[in-house]
Structures are given as C-alpha cells and as structure tokens.
Homo-oligomer: A and B are copies of this chain.
C-alpha cells in the first residue's frame, strides 16, 4: 500500500535534531504525558449499559480547543440513543459490525424515516451537522468498536436526544 522511495533528507534539519535527547515532558495544560498509551486511558460508561467510552483527546483532560477524539465500544445489542448535534462527526469502525440509522436532511422536530446502513470493520462514515442518527451493534457475536472525532463540545455544538422518529 505504501510507495517506497528514497526520501530527500534536509540535512540542516537533521543536524538540528540529532543532538536532542528523548523528552517525556508532560502536557503543560494538564500534567498528563504528551504521548499517551491508549490502552491506559480510563473508561467509563456514563450510566449507559453495554457502552465503554474513552476520551482519547478531549477538552477537559487534554486541553483540546478544537477537536475531540473518542473510542467507544458497544457490546452486542447495545446502541446510542437517537440523537443529533450541531457539529459533524467522523466514525471509523475498528472492530465488529452493526447498523447506522441516519435521517438526512430532516432537521425538524421529527426527522422522518431514517435510512439503514451496514457498517463493517475498516469502514468509515460521517454524520452531517444536525442529521438525526443512531448506531446499533446489531452483531450478536462481537463487540462493535468505533473511533469518533468531532469538534470540542463548545456552545455551538449542542446535542439533543430525540424521543421518537416519525416517518
């Protein structure tokens, strides 16, 4: 998948860096290491059964000002609520499979009939701003693990749950 060629090396830059020693400096904002092992990031389910949530990069913990990255795992049969938010999200499916329900272009109180999309390992999709959506682990044999990234939850990025979709 990767083209292998000889890289042109900028010698001045190489020299500038060659005398450095390894630094394990903490993040100046939070005291956490700058480079963090994802396996050691705490998990929470926020009261939602079957969910495991990790904040890989977040505003509170890591001082992010623009983007956040989450890692979420859904046990078989579990799902998000139907919801929408005023910021984009990009998903990458790391493991497992499931179903995305997405009601595009329907930003009213009742977003209408959603379309059903099969999601699979190594697939990606994004949720447009304010499109109502729901993610289900519809594979009864395996966890569904997704990596999600979007904007820091600022005031312009509000979220709401939708009690019922009416077709």
Is there an interface contact between A2 and B52, defined as CB atoms closer than 8 Å?
A: yes
Is there an interface contact between B165 and A16, defined as CB atoms closer than 8 Å?
A: yes
Is there an interface contact between A66 and B13, defined as CB atoms closer than 8 Å?
A: no
Select which of B3, B69, B100 is within 8 A of A50 by beta carbon.
B3
Per-residue CB contact flags for chain A residues 39-72 toward chain B (1 = under 8 Å, else 0) read: 1000101001111100011000011111101000
Residues of B with C-beta under 8 A to A147: 92, 147
Is there an interface contact between B150 and A67, defined as CB atoms closer than 8 Å?
A: yes
Interface residues of A in 97-139 (CB under 8 A from B): 100-102, 104-105, 113-120, 122-126, 128-129, 134
Tell me if A's interface is mostly helix, strand, loop or mixed.
loop
A79 within 8 A of B: yes
CA distance A58 to B124 in the complex (A): 12
Is there an interface contact between B64 and A126, defined as CB atoms closer than 8 Å?
A: yes
Chain B: which residue is nearest A45 at the CB level? B3
A155 within 8 A of B: no
CB<8 Å pairs between A and B, sample of 6: A2-B52, A5-B49, A9-B77, A12-B163, A17-B114, A66-B87
Top 4 A-B residue pairs of the complex, sorted by shortest distance between their CB atoms: A5-B49, A23-B115, A7-B78, A66-B88
